[in-house]
Amino acid sequence: MANQASKSSQTSKSGLLFSGSDWDFKTLSRAYEAIEAIAIEELHLDVYPVQMEIISSQQMLDAYSSVGMPLMYRHWSFGKHFLYQELLYRKGGRGLAYELVINSNPCIVYLMEENTMALQALVTAHAALGHNHFFKNNHLFRQWTDASAILSYLDFAKGYIARCEERHGVAAVEAILDSAHALMEQGVFRYHRPPKLSSERQREGVRERLEYEERSYNDLWRTLPRSKDGTKASETDLGMAERKKTLNLPEENLLYFLEKNSLVLEPWQREIIRIVRVVAQYFYPQRQTQVMNEGCATFVHYTLMNMLFDRGLITEGAMLEILRNHSNVIFQPGFDDPRFSGINPYALGLDMMQDIQRISTEPTAEDRDWFPDIAGNGNWRETLLDAWANHRDESFIRQYLSPALMRKWRFFILADAASEPHYEVASIHNERGYEKIRAGLAYSYDIGASRPDIQVVDVDLLGDRQLRLEHKVKDGIVLEEASRDATLRHIRRLWGYEVSLAAIDAQTGRTLNERSTSQIGE
Partner 1 sequence: MPIFVDRRLNPKDKSLGNRQRFLKRAREELKRSIRERIRIGRIADVDAEHAVSMPAKGTAEPSFSDAKDSGRRQHILPGNKHFAPGDRVPKPGQGGGGSSPGKTVSEDDFRFVLSREEVLDLFFEDLELPDMVKLNLKEILAFKPRRAGFAATGSPTNINVGRTMRHSHGRRIALRRPRREELDAIEKELAILEAEPQSAAAHQRITALREELERLERRRKRIAYVDPVDIRFNRFDAQPVPNANAVMFCLMDVSGSMGEREKDLAKRFFVLLHLFLKRRYDRTEIVFIRHTHEAQEVDEETFFYNTQSGGTVVSTALEEMHRIIAQRYPSNEWNIYAAQASDGDNFVTDSERCIGLMDGQIMRLCQYFAYVEIIDERESHIFGSTDNGTSLWRAYSAVNQRWPNFQMSRIANAADIYPVFRQLFARQPAFQKSA
> Is 506 a binder of partner 1 (CB under 8 A)?
no
Work out how close the CB of 343 gets to partner 1 at its nearest, in angstroms, rounded to a whole number. Answer: 6
Per CB under 8 A, does 492 bind partner 1?
no
Among 274, 391, 468, 484, binds partner 1 (CB under 8 A): 484
Q: Which of 296, 454, 456, 494 binds partner 1 (CB under 8 A)?
A: 454
Under rule CB under 8 A, residue 95 binds partner 1: no
Pick the binder of partner 1 from 209, 362, 475, 519 (CB under 8 A).
475
- Residues 138-157 touching partner 1, rule: CB under 8 A, are none
Measured distance CA(52)–CA(102) in Å, rounded: 11
Quick one: DSSP state of residue 489? H
**Contact with partner 1 (CB under 8 A): which of 252, 305, 440, 517?**
440
Which region, judged by CB under 8 A, interacts with partner 1, from 12-20, 105-113, 289-297, 460-468?
105-113
What is the phi/psi pair of residue 431, to 5°?
A: -50, -40
Contact flag: residue 97 with partner 1 (CB under 8 A)? no
Q: How many CB atoms lie within 10 A of CB 191?
A: 8
In DSSP terms, 373 is beta-bridged to none
For residues 265 and 258, give the distance between their C-alpha atoms in angstroms, rounded to a whole number: 9
Q: Out of 16, 452, 496, 498, which residue is the one contacting partner 1 (CB under 8 A)? A: 452
Q: State which of positions 28-87 bind partner 1 (CB under 8 A).
A: 28-29, 32-33, 49-56, 58-59, 61-62, 65-66, 74-84, 86-87
Residue 454 contacts residue 469 (beta carbons within 8 Å):
yes
Phi, psi of 341, deg, nearest 5: -140, 45
Report the nearest approach of partner 1 to the CB of residue 76 (Å): 4
Residues 36 and 28: their CA atoms lie apart, in Å, by: 12
Q: Give the nearest distance from C-beta 169 to partner 1 in angstroms.
A: 13
According to CB under 8 A, which residues from 213 to 232 bind partner 1?
A: none
**Looking at 304-312, 335-343, 352-360, 376-384, which segment touches partner 1 (CB under 8 A)?**
335-343
Cα–Cα dist 237/333, whole Å:
63
If one asks whether residue 174 binds partner 1 (CB under 8 A), the answer comes out as: yes
Tell me: does residue 486 bind partner 1 (CB under 8 A). yes
Closest-CA residue to 309 (of 321, 300, 318): 318
Work out the angle at residue 212's Cα, subtended by the Cα atoms of residues 210 and 215, and round it to the nearest 5 degrees. 110
Contact between residue 193 and residue 256 where contact means Cβ atoms under 8 Å apart: no
3-state class of 184 per DSSP? helix
490 belongs to the binding site for partner 1 (CB under 8 A): yes
Contact residue for partner 1 among 229, 237, 337, 431 (CB under 8 A) = 337
342 sits near partner 1 (criterion: CB under 8 A): yes
453-459: strand order across its sheet: 453-459, 467-473, 499-505, 511-516
Among candidate residues 268, 379, 500, 246, the one with its CA nearest the CA of residue 257: 246
Q: Determine, following the binding rule CB under 8 A, whether residue 264 of this chain makes contact with partner 1.
A: no
The one segment of 182-190, 203-211, 238-246, 376-384 that binds partner 1 by CB under 8 A: 182-190
User: Is residue 263 part of the contact set for partner 1 (CB under 8 A)?
Assistant: no
Question: Considering the rule CB under 8 A, would residue 521 count as an interface residue with partner 1?
Answer: no
435 near partner 1, rule: CB under 8 A: no
Q: How far apart are the C-alpha atoms of 479 and 366, rounded to whole Å? A: 42
Q: Give the separation between CA 250 and CA 453, rounded to whole angstroms.
A: 12
Question: Residue 326 CB, nearest distance to partner 1 (Å)?
Answer: 19
What letter represents residue 248's amino acid? N
In the complex, minimum distance from the CB of residue 33 to partner 1, in angstroms, rounded to a whole number: 7
Contacts of 220 (CB under 8 A, 6+ apart): none
> How many residues in total does the chain contain?
522
Q: Cβ(516)–Cβ(498) under 8 Å? A: yes
Least distance CB 395 / partner 1 (angstroms):
16
Residue 2 CB contacts under 8 Å (≥ 6 apart), including other chains: none
Binding to partner 1 by CB under 8 A, coded x per residue (else -) over 111-140, reads --x--------------x------------
Binding to partner 1 (CB under 8 A): which residues in 370-429? Answer: 409-418, 421-429
The residue from 3, 218, 341, 508 that contacts partner 1 (CB under 8 A) is 341
Does residue 331 touch partner 1 according to CB under 8 A?
no
Q: How far is the CB of 351 from partner 1 (least distance, A)?
A: 10
Report the residue number, 375 or 405, with the smaller CB distance to partner 1.
405
Of residues 79 and 378, the one with the C-beta less far from partner 1:
79
Q: Which residues, other chains included, contact 305 with Cβ-Cβ below 8 Å and sequence gap of 6+?
A: 121, 122, 125, 314, 319, 322, 326
Q: Helices 200-215 and 267-288 sit at what angle, rounded to 10 degrees? A: 150
